[in-house]
Amino acid sequence: MTQPDPAAAGGATPRHVAVIMDGNGRWARLRHWNRVRGHREGIESVRAVVRAARRAGVQVLTLYAFSSENWGRPTYEVRALMGLLRRFLRTEAPSLKEQGVRVRAIGALEQLPAEARAALAWAESETRECRDLQLVLALSYGGREEILSALRGLLRDGTDPGRLDEETFRRYLYAPDLPDPDLLIRTSGEMRVSNFLLWQIAYAEIYVTDVLWPDFREAEFERALESYARRERRFGLTTEQLKEEP
């Protein structure tokens, strides 16, 4: 059962913000440019949002950078995205380290090209000791695949179905130590979750903006946090119950 988390029950800064960074292609298309230019510009938004999240005291920022389904895009685009990822990790790790940002990744990482995996391992090890913000990159990530991979682990370990509860299941997810997202942001106006963190977003507050990802910078992120601060999270309880002293 999902228990109410008083620390996250309104007015507060979300501990974990998850973002579906969408709209790079449309941003480029509006300018009659190649989609890849949109992805490149989107990296500037990643930098901005990391800074803003850290400043706001967010503890975990999960960015949906590449979905399981995105492998089906044209080869040139997939290659360009993998190249941008590698370059981002190589060039950004020192600055992330300086800012106290720890880099992690979730997803079917074994499917990434070797160079991208190597860059990821390097950035992870460089920033291992950082404590201010965890930047979790969802790469080759699919929520259904994550649930299946947890199930495979549970079966492999011979888990007794009668004893299987939510806490046990959670331990088999990609990053069991992370709290569930409090706030899920999607840019570019699409009202769907596109296979992102299906288990973890059970009680996330959802914020959708029409702003395209390359235009989503500090001010837009702060706007999302302000919207979150005005929400009343009820976790299935009544407003009266939530006002009662514990």
Q: d(Cα 95, Cα 114) in Å, to the nearest integer?
A: 23
Reading the block at residue 55, the tokens are: 């400043």
Active site residue: 5, 34, 70, 195, which one?
70
Q: Is 177 a catalytic residue?
A: no
Quick count: other Cβ atoms within 10 Å of Cβ 234?
14
User: Across the chain, how many H-helices and E-strands are there?
Assistant: 8, 6
Q: Which of residues 17-36 bind ligand IPE (CB under 6 A)?
A: 20-26
> What residues contact 144, with CB distance under 8 A and at least 6 apart?
195, 198
With 0-12 / 13-18 / 19 or more C-beta atoms within 10 angstroms meaning exposed / middle / buried, residue 33 is middle
Residue 234 CB, nearest distance to Mg ion (Å)? 31
Distance of alpha carbon 85 from alpha carbon 63, whole angstroms? 12
What x/- string results for residues 182 through 221 when contact with ligand IPE is judged by CB under 6 A? ------x-x-x-x------------------x--------
Binding mask 7-36 for Mg ion (x = CB under 5 A): ---------------x--------------
Residue 82 binds to ligand IPE (criterion: CB under 6 A): no
* Span interacting with ligand IPE, options 66-74, 104-112, 116-124, 165-173, rule CB under 6 A: 66-74
Distance, CA of 238 to CA of 202 (rounded, Å): 18
Considering only residues 128-147, where is the footprint of Mg ion by CB under 5 A?
Answer: none
Please tell me the count of residues contacting ligand IPE according to CB under 6 A.
Answer: 19
| Residue 75: CB atoms within 10 Å | 8
Which CB atom, from 17 or from 20, has the smaller least distance to ligand IPE? 20
160 is catalytic: no
Residues near ligand IPE (CB under 6 A) are 20-26, 64-67, 69-70, 81, 188, 190, 192, 194, 213
What are the catalytic residues? 22, 70
